[in-house]
């Protein structure tokens, strides 16, 4: 199969981890007879530097024409003082909106050999398999107004949390559809004791659940959910939630897996190309040092193979290769807690590459 992939490396460790992930895609192509072609485009801070725009129109056009998009990360201190429309993060928010990527799937599981090394007790994290379904094009990250303003003669600011019925319906329906082919349980996470938008969310979740008699629905307040994720993550199957809540809960959930550098994601629309992206950011503190863990991005390519290209065997092969590489004992610095020596970003990929093809 021939597939065209747009690469959006972005800032900080973004280019480092995207480069590693394409090495794995190339090996999959070689072993399974696929041809993956890549075109790179600018987004985020690097796009601001080159084009004074965090999402240049050429980048968007290229993305729309491709079969799938692989994104690293955007942002960094260099651009932190920029006005809102010239921040790197604005480029990412805009492309998610432009491509209507309303559904962000963030699976949380744990590779075998990391179970005993987790900062959380072994019996809590063993066999974990949950899926966070984060709403990605609405809520607090997109509501208007979002600006500085004068409040009673004082400096103030406002951000707005809005959701339309149709936006809630489609993400809740997506969560139910995914739960139907997983563990049959949806946990809708909101703040319905305080927020009107959450009360609408909860009402609509109840309505949609009528369409799925084989899937159970429960509701949980987000503050409790943050605690329950660490206390007993095994109670969750599919957890669906608002944009900001999902952003925060998924970073937290990454520590069930062992590191923020491990969790992949797929940002999907009803049709059209999706963005496959690690959940982490540009990690300016380790950028350019060969310290970044490439596994979240490599696992994101597995999600690309599965969701964009329907290459289930190839996707499984990548996850197996990651498992085997970790079984061999090597760790990037984010996974090292004792005196063990860490390997570099590219050495971790080398180890994964050794096992690609072993489930053929």
Ligand X SMILES: NC(=O)C1=CN([C@@H]2O[C@H](COP(=O)(O)OP(=O)(O)OC[C@H]3O[C@@H](n4cnc5c(N)ncnc54)[C@H](O)[C@@H]3O)[C@@H](O)[C@H]2O)C=CC1
Ligand Y SMILES: CC(C)CC(=O)C(=O)O
Q: Which stretch binds ligand X (CB under 6 A): 68-76, 102-110, 174-182, 349-357?
A: 68-76
Binding to ligand X by residue 89, rule CB under 6 A?
A: yes
HEC-encoded secondary structure of 257-317: HCCHHHCCCEEECCCCCCEECCCCCCCCCCCCCCCCCCHHHHHHHHHHHHHCCCCHHHHHH
| Residue 71 or 186 having the CB closest to ligand X | 71
φ, ψ (nearest 5 deg) of residue 129: -155, 90
Q: Which of 247, 306, 324, 355 is catalytic?
A: 247
Instruction: State the helix-helix crossing angle for 295-307 and 345-355, rounded to 10 degrees.
Output: 40
Q: Which of 11, 163, 190, 191 is catalytic?
A: 191
Q: How far apart are CA 246 and CA 271, in angstroms?
A: 22
Of 57, 68, 145, 133, whose CA–CA distance to 95 is shortest?
A: 57
Smallest distance from ligand X to CB 261, Å: 3
Q: Is 67 a catalytic residue?
A: no
Q: Is 247 a catalytic residue?
A: yes
Binding to ligand Y by residue 89, rule CB under 6 A?
A: yes
| Residue 179 or 287 having the CB closest to ligand X | 287
Q: Is 11 a catalytic residue?
A: no
Binding to ligand Y by residue 247, rule CB under 6 A?
A: yes
3-state SS assignment for residue 49: helix
Binding to ligand Y by residue 242, rule CB under 6 A?
A: no
Smallest distance from ligand X to CB 298, Å: 10
Smallest distance from ligand Y to CB 149, Å: 22
Smallest distance from ligand X to CB 280, Å: 3
3-state SS assignment for residue 36: strand
* Host H or E run for residue 109: strand 103-109
Is the omega angle on the peptide bond into residue 201 within 30 degrees of 0, that is, cis?
no
91, 261, 264, 273: residue in contact with ligand X (rule CB under 6 A):
261
* CB-CB neighbours of 244 under 10 Å: 16
17, 93, 304, 326: residue in contact with ligand Y (rule CB under 6 A):
93
| Residue 41 or 92 having the CB closest to ligand Y | 92
Binding to ligand X by residue 296, rule CB under 6 A?
A: yes
Sites for ligand X among residues 10-39 (CB under 6 A): 13, 17
Encode 109-130: b = buried (16+ Cβ within 10 Å), e = exposed: bbbebbbebbebeeeebeebeb
| Residue 168 or 299 having the CB closest to ligand X | 299
| Residue 24 or 279 having the CB closest to ligand Y | 279
The answer for residues whose C-beta is within 8 angstroms of residue 134's C-beta and 6 or more apart is 103, 104, 105, 106, 240, 241, 242, 243, 245, 246, 247, 250
Sites for ligand Y among residues 270-299 (CB under 6 A): 279
Are 312 and 41 within 8 A, CB to CB? no
285, 288, 310, 328: residue in contact with ligand X (rule CB under 6 A):
285
Residues that bind ligand X (CB under 6 A): 13, 17, 73-76, 89, 92, 260-261, 277, 280-286, 292-293, 296, 334
- Binding site residue list for Mg(2+): 223, 247, 251
Residues that bind ligand Y (CB under 6 A): 89, 92-93, 247, 279
């Amino acid at each position: 199969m021939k597939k065209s992939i747009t690469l959006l490396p972005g800032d900080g460790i973004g280019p480092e981890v995207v480069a590693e992930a394409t090495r794995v895609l190339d090996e999959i192509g070689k072993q399974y007879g696929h041809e993956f072609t890549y075109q790179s485009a600018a987004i985020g801070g690097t796009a601001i530097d080159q084009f004074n725009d965090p999402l240049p129109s050429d980048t968007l056009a290229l993305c729309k024409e491709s079969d799938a998009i692989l994104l690293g990360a955007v942002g960094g201190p260099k651009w932190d003082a920029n006005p809102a429309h010239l921040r790197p993060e604005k480029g990412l928010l805009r492309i998610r909106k432009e491509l209507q990527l309303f559904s962000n799937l963030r699976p949380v599981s744990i590779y075998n050999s990391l179970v005993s090394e987790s900062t959380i007790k072994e019996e809590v994290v063993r066999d974990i398999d949950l899926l966070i379904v984060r709403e990605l094009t609405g809520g607090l990250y997109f509501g208007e107004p979002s600006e500085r303003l004068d409040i009673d003669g004082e400096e103030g600011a406002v951000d707005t949390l809005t959701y339309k019925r149709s936006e809630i319906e489609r993400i809740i329906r997506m969560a139910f559809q995914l739960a139907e082919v997983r563990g049959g349980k949806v946990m809708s996470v909101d703040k319905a004791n305080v927020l009107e938008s959450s009360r609408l969310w909860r009402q609509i979740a109840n309505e949609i659940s009528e369409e799925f008699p084989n899937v159970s629905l429960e509701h949980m307040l987000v503050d409790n959910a943050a605690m329950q994720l660490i206390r007993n993550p095994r109670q969750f199957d599919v957890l669906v939630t608002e944009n900001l809540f999902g952003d925060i809960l998924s970073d937290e959930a990454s520590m069930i897996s062992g590191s923020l550098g491990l969790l992949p994601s797929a940002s999907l629309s009803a049709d059209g190309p999706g963005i496959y992206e690690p959940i982490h950011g540009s990690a300016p503190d380790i950028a350019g040092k060969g310290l970044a863990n490439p596994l979240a991005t490599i696992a994101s390519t597995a999600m690309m193979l599965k969701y964009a290209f329907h290459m289930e065997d190839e996707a499984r092969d990548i996850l197996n290769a990651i498992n085997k590489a970790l079984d061999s004992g090597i760790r990037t610095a984010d996974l090292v807690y004792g005196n063990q020596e860490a390997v570099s970003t590219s050495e971790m990929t080398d180890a994964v590459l050794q096992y690609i093809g072993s489930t053929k």
